[in-house]
Amino acid sequence: MLLLLQLTILSLLLLTLGFIGVSLWIWLIYGAIVLFTLQSPIWLWSLYAAIGLVLAIPQIRRQVLTKPIMKVIRVPKISDTERAAINAGTVWVEGEFFSGVPDFERMNQAAYPEVTPELQTFLDEQVEQVCRMATDWEIQRHKDLPIEVWQYLKQERFFGMMIPVEYGGLGFSNFAYSTVMAKLASRSFIHTATVGVTNSLGPAKLLLNYGTSEQKEYYLSRLASGEEIPCFALTEPTAGSDAASITAKGIVFRGDDGKLMVRLNFRKRYITLGAIATLIGLAFKLYDPDNLLGKGEDVGITCILIPANTEGMILGKRHDPMGVPFYNSPVEGQDVVVSVDQIIGGVEQAGQGWKMLMQALAAGRGISFPASCTGVAKLVARVTGAYAKVRQQFGSSIGRFEGIEEPLARIGGLTYVLDAARIYTVGAVDAGEKPAVVSAIAKYQFTETTRKLVNDGMDILGGSGICRGPRNLLANFYTAMPIPITVEGSNILTRTLMIFGQGVMRCHPYLYAEVMAIETGDAIAFDQALWKHIGSIFRNTFRTLLLSLSRGYLASVPGNKSTKRYYQKLAWSSAMFAFLTDFLLIRFGGALKRQEKLTGRLADWLSWMYLSIATLRRFGAEGYKAEDLIFVQWAMNYSFAQMQQALEGILVNLPIPSIAKSILLSLVRINPLGTLPTDTQGSYVAQALQTTGEEREHLTSGIYLPKHPDEALGRLEQALKLCEQAEAVMSRVKQAIRAGQLPQGKVETSIEAALKTEVITKAEADLLRAAESARFDAIQVDAFTLQEYQGNGLQVPQFSTILAQKNVT
């Protein structure tokens, strides 16, 4: 009996020490306690002492264990371009999930910016004015922004939002820029495509980070004012996802006047603003056969600035990306000669172009497209909520049908998530982080999620969604969504390679240090990383076991009563994620990055953990508003269901015996991380989208809302308000019809009878007529004469021709 009690105590102590993760010395003491309790013989004590000495004394451990391990491990050589991508940016909160023991306090202390009075003024005045100047239909029909919009964008420094005030820009933070982009996107994709490239991954950003003082002084003020229209040329016919394989070539030579020059030959494509750019940023491979720069013959990938009027430049053609009329173009150069002084950052930065681009993308992917997608998602939420309420079938608003509630719930719940992650991410960038993995997560998840939401919106609108015209609010966004999916790293590549493939190397607490130590033969560094790694594996094994058995309840986490449970499940999820990551690293080694189906599922898992913490951060930062709780509950349940799906996909394909696989799958299905939101939760979210008030306003805040009923959204909003005001009166008329007080028929045909029988008052009858008229008007679709249709949008107006020729000077 005493022995059973002792074994129980030792087992509980083992589980406790393993769960919290203790030092090697504590484990050695624990082992001694076990030996003493079991009254072990002296030979076993001697063996244990020898093992303890080997493990505890670093000098002995390195000779006996670490160096032999180093010799048998084979890691693939990391290329310079891959190393630059891995080292780009910083590790932010995503690293917490790889640890298996996420520090939620740290995550919740991350900055969560708010709209300042100055930013609000810009949104209410300048951004509002830009949106007011042209509808999306007008822009699409003319295949360009109107000339007056271009001029206003220049005048109000929209092209210099991120350029400091001292250079003539607006000096906006990333959050301010993101907030402006979200509102512009809710009006037209063309606005964001045009404004985005001038502020994000273009010459201005590279000049700010790497340019010489002379380059900054000359170019930044011209870029801020729109005097220069920039583009950046990277992609080539044979260098898309593998951008490091570019063939654009520049050769250094000495000109007749003795100055060092570069002769460039290149062929680029998919370049936004290329056809009208006056300043081209170019990524190319620089060669210096005479070593005139003192950097050898093969200098490497370099970024340079080329004035568009330089001899040999070939511009002016346009691609037609899905019929979306933003400027996207091929850019070519034949024997283009510019001074080496045009290299961004000067000669010192020659050969550093890939590093520059990776550093810029490390943060940039998390700003522009996430902002644009959030604006679109909010617009979809606003439009579909109103339409579902206004549109009737079978005598009832279609938004009451469960088949419509389901996509409405996705639209509402995921829009809350996207705005949370947008603010959380740009807040980190403004705080100095360059979170490469989080930015990749943001780019991938925002674009994919918004594509789904637009699809849901189109399904809800039905025939109204597929008939183009000024009344149609979603069709052009539906057409445009493949564009953000494709650019800045295609989503297939981003998911399967960047988020986890590069993320595990960068964000794992020990992996990169181990790989670098093996490459350099540094046994001391490898020893330090390896044994900490082994300790981490040991800890996460125990944490996975105990948190799974307790469904996360053993985790010590922050949060109030409405969110604590979600933090516990996130701790549980992180432990399993870290455990499986290490298992797969041990199983596949460096070949894991080629197991793209597995890494894609791990990327999904990591992504939804990040989106979950962003959701919780938003809820807390905004004061745990009771009216937002249903959105949080729906979002968190949805997120855990996605993690569960990723986990099951990984387990199904684990390289382990079938019996073990079946047992593991059964266990995780019996004891899942989460399931999809309930129908009741979905109904609450769906009805919130259809009801005017604080919840709907808060969810869709920051988008462009035209007030005039001649505008499509203004018309829809007016119909929603009138229908809502008339709802009680309409219900009374329907009740009177059912009771036989009024003849059978539709409400709109019973108004006069209801008025005569005093079921309703004259004021109520007027309200019903106004509501029915607004409802009928709101659900109409556009129709054109044959002549109008044949000529509609096919002619490029004169101002586009002028713009292409004169660059709107």
Q: Check if 488 is active-site.
A: yes
Which residues touch 274 (CB under 8 Å, ≥6 apart)?
231, 233, 268, 280, 315, 327, 328, 329, 330, 331
For residue 454, report the phi and psi dihedrals to the nearest 5 degrees: -65, -40
Question: Among all chains, which residue has been given the structure tokens 């999620």?
Answer: 449
**How many CA atoms within 13 Å lie on the side-chain side of 655?**
9
CA distance 437 to 753: 65
Question: Among all chains, which residue has been given the structure tokens 């992650």?
Answer: 421
Cβ–Cβ under 8 Å, residues 264 and 248: yes
For residue 655, report the phi and psi dihedrals to the nearest 5 degrees: -80, 65
The single residue of 332, 405, 488, 764 carrying the catalytic annotation is 488
Q: Please write down the HEC assignment for all residues of 575-613.
A: HHHHHHHHHHHHHHHHHHHHCHHHHHHHHHHHHHHHHHH
SS3 of 367, please?
A: coil
Cβ–Cβ under 8 Å, residues 527 and 61: yes
Cβ–Cβ under 8 Å, residues 594 and 611: no
**How many CA atoms within 13 Å lie on the side-chain side of 584?**
26
CA distance 713 to 719: 10
Q: List the beta bridge partners of residue 261.
A: 253, 339
CA distance 580 to 132: 52
Q: Considering only CA atoms, which of 642, 713, 134, 132 is closest in space to residue 380?
A: 713
- What single string gives the DSSP state of each residue in 205-216? HHHHHH--HHHI
Q: Work out the angle between the directed axes of helices 436-461 and 596-621 (0-180°, nearest 10).
A: 80
End-to-end CA distance of the chain: 93
Quote the tokens at residue 628: 């937002």
**How many CA atoms within 13 Å lie on the side-chain side of 408?**
32
Beta strands 328-339; 396-397: pairing state: unpaired
CA distance 664 to 651: 7
Helix (H) or strand (E) segment spanning residue 265: strand 260-272
Which residues are annotated as catalytic? 488
